[in-house]
A = this chain, B = another copy of it.
Amino acid sequence: MDRIDWRLCFIADSEAASGRDILQLIAEAVEGGVTLIQLRGKKWTSREFLDMGMKALRFLGPKKIPLIINDRVDIALACEADGVHLGQDDMPLPYAREILGKDRIIGISVATPDEAEAAEKDGADYVGAGPVFGTLSKKDTAPLLGLTGLRKIREKTKIPILAIGGITVANAADVISAGADGVAVISAITAAINPGRAATEIIESIGKLKKG
């Protein structure tokens, strides 16, 4: 696969969007500067998920923005997405790799340094590490990592880290300083009055740091 710009992943989640048009949110987020999209819809039927994946890809493909499908390896294959993101409750990575082959991206959610180490060993292309901070998007998640926990994960793995959980324009730079290659956000874009501007502000806060 091409080199990925991991800086800002927008997780387009049908439940978080609560009725708002997911494709419109994706378009605004891309316009604002996100570098990666993860599509998630735990309550979609398979047909709805596939349809949404194909529509998203038709928009993202020409823009060279990778599309990652949450959980569903079959949907990723059927819509020819760039990869999948697997939680610890999803299919174990080796099965997904067997089905998807070497060229597709596989990311894994990790909450501890040990999980990050295991993910790298299993051949993950990146880890989503979190929750770093408190968040309203997910309930009953693991204990917060904080910046200290994120640094410990950085020490255990060389593959890209996307920090997730309560990331906003106010703390994105800190998260990158702590060793993340990028951030993944749901609410910071989905719940923003202007999703595109929210994306721009976050990517700029990350960009400035890298230049500095």
Chain A residues at the B interface, C-beta cutoff of 8 Å: 45-48, 50, 71-75, 77-78, 88-92, 95-96, 98-99
Contacts and interface: CB of A to CB of B under 8 A. Distances in A.
6 contacts: A45-B90, A47-B89, A47-B90, A47-B92, A50-B91, A78-B99
Nearest to A84: B74
Contacts of A78: 73, 91, 95-96, 98-99
Interface of A is mostly: helix
Contacts of A75: 91
Contacts of A77: 73-74, 99
A72 B74 contact: yes
A95 B45 contact: no
A99 B76 CA distance: 11
A120 B211 CA distance: 59
Contacts of A74: 72-74, 77, 91, 96, 99
Contact of A89 (B45, B72, B89, B98): B45
Nearest to A92: B47
